[in-house]
Amino acid sequence: MDIQGWMLAVAILLPVVAAILVFLIRQYQLRGLIVILTAVALIVNSIYFLKVGLPTEYTPENPIWGTIITVLDYAMLLFYIYAGLSLKNWLVLIFALTQIIPLAWWEFGLGASHALEEIKPAFLIDNLAVLMVLVISIIGSLICVYAIRYMYDHEEHKHLEKSRQSRFLFWLVLFLGAMNGLVLADNLMWLYFFWEVTTLCCFQLIAHDLTKEAINNGARALWMNSIGGTAMVAAMIYLYYTNGGNIEYLTLSNIIASGGTEAFLLLPVALMCFTGMIKAAQMPFQTWLLGAMVAPTPVSALLHSSTMVKAGVYLVLRLAPAFNPVLGMMVAVCGAFTFFAASVLAISQTTGKRVLAYSTIANLGLIIACAGLRTELAIAAAMLLIIFHAISKGLLFMCAGTIEHQIWSREIEDMEGLAEKAPLTTFITITGMLSMFLPPFGMLLGKWMALEAVYAVPLAAILFVLASAATMVFWAKWLGRLLQVTPKLGKKIESLSLSYSVPLWSLFVGIFVFGIGIAPLYDRFIRGAVNNVIAVQHAFTEGWQIVLPDAATALSLEKGVGLLGSYPVVALFIVFAVAIVLPLLFVKLKPQELKPVYLCGEQAGDVDTDEWYAEADNVSKLELGGYYYKGAASEEALNTWVYVVAIALLVIMFGIVLGVSL
């Protein structure tokens, strides 16, 4: 086996072996050591992918692997049938049957299985695939390390008689191998297999706590994502039979090479794009991801940052060259609507993890909209958003889990005064939040580029602007709660275990390192990933600036430079450090600066009290609350309209596709 084979084995098979070991080993320290060593191996291996000459094709020499994939496909689908029957969830059962029956009829009833074994290549290693492997292997591995201590604390708080940590870590680590296989697969049969493994892992992890709510939410994730699996099976069968049994178009690379000019490819491309949109929790399928918030926090962190939902945006982005202009426009509008609707709905959420969930859904909508736009600027924005969203959201979810284990609540209102109780965690959390929408961080660059690119589609542009405004509202409300304290002198820095602090600080540093180094990073690597989707015409970087070649304000493009229309990375980080970080580090509150809060009555106690004398000298406690716009922006008020519009957009998209195809 050559070097590419060994690297693929480490990326895909090593997590499988490690998952089995952590499931069998019940000793806490040894199990943790296996997870840590696996994480290190995956991180090193993902970085080594950058050394491979790209693009590279690889197909296992032994045909037994194809047989194993086929057997495991049916084993998973039979498990889905069993799950549907045992849970009495008929939607799980129905969508399992809509996969297994057509698949069996295609492969065995009509004898297509022999032809399917000839589909090559099995894997395609290019810059886009490597970018995703880096996100999965680095951020996903750090989340697995974080889970070691988190699950110990989680079970201790629940007073479980029998630990289920081994089972949890089994599915968590296995998830990484499945995701690596998914983003590297070119053969559609292999892609479908890895796609279903991620669905299975998601179901098991969401349902992990075995409460009624957890099981129901896990089942919802299973049947919704099985709709996508059904769409992918339909796409493969359609591709096979419209070509008279030819397997030519049963690889992603051949579909993409068509460039959207073949009318018969439009329907299967739309079906697979639909599959990706479901996995990315786009409206109206957002509820499966929102339901995943009942799971332990490492599940949320992994789903939102580097697995599952990123699989969805990856597939849509990968297929973008095969869109025709109308399909691309509809994908852009669907993504833009999700960006807007999820941003508005986030305003009314009082639970931290649900705010993060809606923020994720919104940003995934933005990435999908960029994929639909299909300009070099939009695709570049999508790549940057994938990277920076993964780093920031992975950090924020781990911060949310750490906060939960400090105050044992997920409610934003209960986080008031956290800066006093846990200043270190608060500092990291606030930095993560700021990195989502303010300069000089990379998310702002990605959103800026997306806004520059979207003006070709006016409806999407309006939705982008409105969604960006809503984003500021929900982050500002949460930030205000974290910083609202009754001032006291001499804050004590809380201590965090290594399993918490190493992943948190690694991603914290990553925000700044990738932010400062984005220009050379783009020039040396991300540009190649953009080229895998659309040919890049202009240089995007000059020194430590990002030049926007399609921006209205860019100057001197023929020389690859521009002062207007550039993103001065280092200068902005210096401003950030001077204006925000240094005051936090060196400015201290003095005793004489403390002032009592005016409470419309005499204050009880010292200057930092939150109590006051009311009528009849009764002592009343000051209570503050945030305004969440429950009447205007709540799920109860908006969900009906959201579903109607989202479903209508999908119906229009498929109506247009069927009209062109048939």
CA-closest candidate to residue 18, choices 122, 144, 130: 144
In percent, the amount of the chain with pLDDT more than 90 equals 53
Residue 551 reports pLDDT greater than 80: no
- Host H or E run for residue 537: none
Per-residue pLDDT, averaged over 96-121, amounts to 86
Least confident of 68-82, 272-286, 524-538: 524-538
pLDDT in tens, 379-422: 989 999 999 999 999 999 999 989 988 888 888 888 877 877 88
Least confident of 107-111, 440-444, 595-599, 645-649: 595-599
Residue 489 has a pLDDT of 46
| Distance from C-alpha of 451 to C-alpha of 464, rounded to nearest angstrom | 7
pTM, two decimal places: 0.91
pLDDT in tens, 237-252: 999 988 877 888 999 9
pLDDT in tens, 10-57: 999 999 999 999 999 989 999 999 999 999 999 999 999 988 877 899
Which has the higher per-residue pLDDT, 553 or 215?
Answer: 215
341 CB-contact burial (10 Å; exposed 0-12 / middle 13-18 / buried 19+): buried
pLDDT in tens, 143-177: 999 999 999 988 888 888 788 999 999 999 999 99
Buried b (16+ CB within 10 A) or exposed e, 600-635: eeebbeeeebbebeeeeeeeeeeeeeeebeeeebbb
Which range has the top average pLDDT, 81-90, 158-167, 611-620, 626-635? Answer: 81-90
pLDDT band at 491 (very low <50, low <70, confident <90, very high): low
Q: Taking the domains of the chain in order of start, what are their residue ranges?
A: 82-321
**What is the phi-psi region of residue 246: left when phi exceeds 0, alpha when psi lies from -120 to 50, beta otherwise?**
beta
Which residues have a Cβ under 8 Å from the Cβ of 109 and sit 6 or more positions away?
none
pLDDT in tens, 424-446: 888 899 999 999 988 778 898 88
Residue 410 has a pLDDT of 83
Residue 588 reports pLDDT greater than 70: no
pLDDT in tens, 512-526: 888 888 888 888 788
Residue 552 has a pLDDT of 45
Residue 569 has a pLDDT of 74
Show the 3-state SS of 70-91: HHHHHHHHHHHHHHHHHHCCHH
Cβ–Cβ < 8 Å for 96, 81: yes
Residue 651 reports pLDDT greater than 90: yes
Per-residue pLDDT, averaged over 93-118, amounts to 87
In percent, the amount of the chain with pLDDT more than 70 equals 85
pLDDT in tens, 339-378: 999 999 999 888 889 999 999 999 999 999 999 999 888 9
pLDDT band at 583 (very low <50, low <70, confident <90, very high): low
pLDDT band at 649 (very low <50, low <70, confident <90, very high): very high
Cβ–Cβ < 8 Å for 526, 388: no
Per-residue pLDDT, averaged over 296-322, amounts to 90
Least confident of 38-42, 120-124, 646-650: 120-124
Residue 26 has a pLDDT of 86
| Distance from C-alpha of 115 to C-alpha of 244, rounded to nearest angstrom | 12
Q: What is the mean pLDDT of the chain?
A: 86
3-state secondary structure of 208: coil
Residue 92 has a pLDDT of 96
**Dihedral sign from CA coordinates of 5, 180, 323, 104:** positive
Amino acid type, 437 = F
Per-residue pLDDT, averaged over 299-309, amounts to 85
| Distance from C-alpha of 473 to C-alpha of 487, rounded to nearest angstrom | 25
Residue 587 has a pLDDT of 57
Least confident of 249-258, 443-452, 608-617: 608-617
pLDDT band at 486 (very low <50, low <70, confident <90, very high): low
Residue 218 reports pLDDT greater than 90: yes
pLDDT in tens, 350-360: 888 999 999 99
3-state secondary structure of 163: coil
Residue 559 has a pLDDT of 41
Residue 561 has a pLDDT of 40
pLDDT in tens, 90-100: 999 999 999 99
